[in-house]
Structure 1
Amino acid sequence: MNPRRKKRLTIVVSILTGLAVVAGLVLYALSQNIDLFYKPSEIHHGKEDTGLKAQIGQRLRVGGLVVPESVKRDEKSLKVSFRLADMKMPISFDPNEPMITIKYDGILPDLFREGQGIVANGKLAEGFIIEASEVLAKHDENYMPKELADDAGEKHAKPEYTKEQLESKN
């Protein structure tokens, strides 16, 4: 092989290697910023199709219904915690239904209320607790995040829980 071809081959191989390294670093950086969507039951039992479970410290997005009478606000700060349950049709309370607790420090959306469908972004902490960095509520009667709409089906209705059912869950 003559020196000119050898030099060209070295340059082409170097460029391709550099591009592969850059692509690998970009994909690694993007994978660190992906928020995977989970329902409360999937955090407890893993994804239905893959069995993949959320890991402690993992960034994720979780959606469901705010359980009535579960919202607890700190009077001296903006801290709030509430429980989240799956959106199932027909809506019924099952004491064994998996629920998660969302802890948030900030101003909640104006449309946030009990029985409301919400999506929270945050990190999974110990014991099925999500430390949320953002809480989103639907903005009108027609909008619902795609993942929650698929889970709830077409007939979305506010759940009806009795005080006794909620106390038996705790």
Structure 2
Amino acid sequence: MPVIHTLSLLYLDETDINDDSLHVISKNAPNLNSVSIIGCKYSTEKGILILTSSCRKLEYFGMGSSYQNLSLYAISNECSTLMYIDARSTSLSSHVKLQELTASCHRLHSIRLLKVTGLDDLAIEIIADNCTELKDAHFSGSSDITVSGVTYMLIKCRMLTELILKSCML
């Protein structure tokens, strides 16, 4: 398969894309800067890690599946160009991994974590500490975020223009 240097945007939401396909894409479309695989039931953490570590120009990445338990930590720490993360129906299994990911994605401008299990005040504080240039934060469906976490983010993220906390128990 030829290398396609011109392809920069690839949205595969709700398709049957699998890890082998993600591997082929990562090897043959090195200049991708926007990828979304939300709702892809055959994509696993292995494929996501391969894609995000190979596509070094990636600025937007969307993932999530209600079919399997994907972790936000499948996103490679080497993906330092990320500015937008959209994760749905995933999990945060470790605050240490969140620390590593957000420290490597210090240019992050927008983060959408919808129905992410394990999202709590400490996770919000880690994001706020490492992503001070954050402009848009959307955290929906978490019962573990309190006013304390929200206040911390508002103090740390001075460029924040949009904060959405839909279905959160404050």
TM-score of the pair, normalised by structure 1:
0.24
Instruction: Give the TM-score normalised by the residue count of structure 2.
Output: 0.24
The answer to which structure has the higher strand fraction is 1
Instruction: For CA contacts below 8 A with separation 6 or more, give which structure has more relative contact order.
Output: 1
Larger C-alpha radius of gyration, 1 or 2?
1
